[in-house]
Amino acid sequence: MSADVKTVQVALGERSYEIKVGPKLIANAGQYLKPLLRRARVVIVTDENVAALHLPALEKSLDEAGIHHDAIGMPPGEGTKCFAELQRLSEWLLETGVERGDLVIALGGGVIGDLTGFAASIVRRGVDFAQIPTTLLSQVDSSVGGKTGINTPQGKNLVGAFYQPRIVLADTSALETLPKRELLAGYAEVVKYGLINDRTFFDWLEVNLDRIVSGDVAARTYAIVKSCESKAAIVAADERESNVRALLNLGHTFGHALEAATGFSNRFVHGEGVAVGMALAFDLSVRLGLCPGQDAVRVRRHLERAGLPCRLADVPGELPNAKGLIELMGQDKKVVDGKLTFILARGIGEAFITRNVDAAALRALLEERET
50 binds ligand NAD (CB under 6 A): yes
147 catalytically annotated: yes
Task: Check: CB of residue 74 under 8 Å from CB of residue 80.
Answer: yes
Calculate the alpha carbon distances from 231 to 52, 132, 197, 238, 333 in Å. Answer: 30, 17, 11, 11, 20
Q: Is residue 103 a contact residue for ligand NAD (CB under 6 A)?
A: no
Judged by CB under 6 A, the stretch of 118-126, 138-146, 203-211, 355-363 that binds ligand NAD is 138-146
Respond yes or no: is residue 54 known to be catalytic.
no
* Nearer Cβ to ligand NAD (78/368): 78
What is the closest distance, in whole angstroms, from the C-beta atom of residue 42 to ligand NAD in the complex?
19
Residues 299 and 279: beta-carbon distance below 8 Å: yes
Active-site residue (options: 147, 166, 287, 311): 147
- Compute the least distance from the CB of residue 35 to ligand NAD, in Å: 25
241 catalytic, yes or no?
yes
Closer to ligand NAD by CB, 50 or 296: give it: 50
How many Å separate Cα 160 from the centre of its chain? 15
Which of 138, 172, 197, 221 lies at the binding interface for ligand NAD (CB under 6 A)? 138
Site for ligand NAD in 255-284 (CB under 6 A): 270
Q: Which residues pair with 9 in a beta bridge?
A: 18
Report the DSSP beta bridge partners of residue 44.
71, 105
Q: Is 140 in the site for ligand NAD (CB under 6 A)?
A: no
Candidate list 15, 41, 70, 76; residue touching ligand NAD; CB under 6 A: 76
Known catalytic residues? 125, 147, 189, 231, 241, 245, 249, 252, 256, 270
